Structure 1
């Protein structure tokens, strides 16, 4: 018997996903658009939805966050999505991730919480719930609502049973470790990140390995752990980022981690050399990340005896934190400025 042939829109979808996996995001976006049109003509609503979702992922992975939010919002408001808890949770999670990337943290947390509720209680949607729960925790943690974030981490841990795959479990332990570090639970942070590292593999996904090591290094640096383990995380992340290429935003975030290491190691010249050009084009970064970069540059300049040069960056950091709805971080900048520079 001849083997059954796939419908043209399914073949186009497989080709688009292959391009996405090879990180050719422009071509994947184009091919996913063609596949979605073919799926629409064929009356295959789910295939259409999946291809529009893939287009959104391409925009996210390319660092085009505003466009990502626009397309994710369109999907969330689509009638097919509103009729399905699974699609509603998936689209809501994408919107939450986009909002976080734009520094709209309160909206991100609310949207992610709503997405998690849509998937909760249905064992068939455990993977969808885990994704939403991770987005919720990330938004809460970046908002420094650490008690709420830790409570949601404990909820997430109950979902990371033996029935979920290692990749999903690794990403879950990763976000739990992030919150532990931020909450000064340093030993727990290290333990959860070790659990993540055991489950994530560079041979399976180099890009994921790069992002994990960069995030782990960033959390360790925020806990002021400038030790050999932190340096290994930075070096692994830099190597993996070079291998996969990465977007301009990826490379800037990696440079910020290296600059933070230089700052904690006392090499202010190296930190400033990275941070000055980075801050000059930091609009590419999420608002809260840009704020952290400006604050770090200001502190490095003060440590290098350039207090007057630092004033502008203190002001910009405080304003960016306020813009990202992080008034406590803005206050911390102003307190630091007053206590160290006397302004």
Structure 2
């Protein structure tokens, strides 16, 4: 017969998990904390670990990445984690996701790689291995190590044959992202279509919002400003409004809409979205903030606002350097130099036209 104390911490854990599913993350965090204390009193270390893990998930889903990293690191370093490949792989993946969210991409890739190898030792940990593999691919892709990322995508695809639709959908989503970044546009569309067939808005509206936002983002990076891309944006905006979403979610959604406006030549609208967004972009991952500033800088160039563009380009370079993305930083410098040369040539032509063939 179970002791009342044991039953109480299990009930508290179930309540915490239910609140998490309802997206009441503050209440879930609080209840999980209570459940963890009750589990400690009951001597149930495994339940304590699960509740701390749930608390970390709450902070992740709220976009509170620093706190998420603190909790994930605590779990990763805990003696209980070292005794279990499952816990080790899950905690390591959490740390990797948090590091990626903070722009620490090389560390994120290393952590995710270790977690995937740990999970691969046990066939029963297939889902945990897939989570780690997805995290590894995302970190490599954001680091623009696209050959490495694509190789890991092929590994991931092999793991998706015998999993549920939701897991397969998330896997195809990540593979599609890398295909788009690597200029494999038809592959990107194919894998994102496979993902869309398996992910369902009726099962998880938040996931549907994030998928459509990411798909739109990748299509825009491939300069696909077509009707299919607009459908992705509109689905993502609607789903984000339905679930509420964190401030970070809404900012990332605004960035996608601004990119759409930019590609379609609506520079004033892009500027109106991007200027307040960049002013508050410390909420975003460093590399995302850098991309937002780069888009604003290009918008300002298109509007002929050279002074403002220069300052924004300087900030962009600084952010890409902070995110340890020297290739992106170099690309920004080259883009700005070419843009300024083009602008100067245009100004000189205009001056010659005004002065006429005889100098006025």
**Range of TM-score over shorter length:** over 0.9
Query: Is 1:84–2:84 an aligned residue pair?
Result: yes
Cα deviation, 1:308-329, whole Å, max 9, x if unaligned, reads: 2111110000110010010000
- Shift in Å at residue 43 of structure 1? 1.4
- Shift in Å at residue 44 of structure 1? 1.4
- What is the CA–CA distance in structure 2 between the aligned matches of 1:91 and 1:226, rounded to whole Å? 39
**Rg (Cα) greater in structure:** 2
Residues 75 and 6 (structure 1 numbering): CA distance in 2 closer, same or farther, change over 3 Å?
Answer: closer
- What is the CA–CA distance in structure 2 between the aligned matches of 1:5 and 1:214, rounded to whole Å? 45
Q: Secondary structure of the residue that 1:224 maps to in structure 2?
A: coil
Matches within 5 A, 1:104-123: 104-123=104-123
Query: Is 1:13–2:9 an aligned residue pair?
Result: no
- What is the CA–CA distance in structure 1 between the aligned matches of 2:35 and 2:168, rounded to whole Å? 31
Query: Is 1:35–2:35 an aligned residue pair?
Result: yes
Residues 269 and 327 (structure 1 numbering): CA distance in 2 closer, same or farther, change over 3 Å?
Answer: same
- What is the CA–CA distance in structure 2 between the aligned matches of 1:46 and 1:154, rounded to whole Å? 34
Q: Secondary structure of the residue that 1:7 maps to in structure 2?
A: helix
Structure 1, gaps ≥5 residues long? none
Query: Is 1:249–2:248 an aligned residue pair?
Result: yes
- What is the CA–CA distance in structure 2 between the aligned matches of 1:290 and 1:14, rounded to whole Å? 37
Determine the structure 2 residue equivalent to 1:215.
Answer: 214
State whether residues 5 and 38 of structure 2, in contact with CA within 8 Å, keep that contact through their aligned partners in structure 1: no
State whether residues 168 and 195 of structure 2, in contact with CA within 8 Å, keep that contact through their aligned partners in structure 1: yes
Q: Secondary structure of the residue that 2:218 maps to in structure 1?
A: helix
Runs of 4 or more off by more than 4 Å in structure 1? none
- Shift in Å at residue 6 of structure 1? 7.7
- What is the CA–CA distance in structure 2 between the aligned matches of 1:41 and 1:158, rounded to whole Å? 43
- What is the CA–CA distance in structure 2 between the aligned matches of 1:335 and 1:205, rounded to whole Å? 42
Q: Secondary structure of the residue that 1:202 maps to in structure 2?
A: coil
- Shift in Å at residue 121 of structure 1? 3.7
Question: What is the aligned residue count?
Answer: 339
Residues 173 and 272 (structure 1 numbering): CA distance in 2 closer, same or farther, change over 3 Å?
Answer: same
Determine the structure 2 residue equivalent to 1:179.
Answer: 178
Query: Is 1:192–2:191 an aligned residue pair?
Result: yes
Structure 2, gaps ≥5 residues long? 345-360
Q: Secondary structure of the residue that 2:235 maps to in structure 1?
A: helix
Cα deviation, 1:131-174, whole Å, max 9, x if unaligned, reads: 0000000000000000000000000000001x311100000000
- CA RMSD across the alignment: 1.2
- What is the CA–CA distance in structure 2 between the aligned matches of 1:213 and 1:5, rounded to whole Å? 44
Cα deviation, 1:217-258, whole Å, max 9, x if unaligned, reads: 000000000000000000000000000000000000000000
- Shift in Å at residue 5 of structure 1? 11
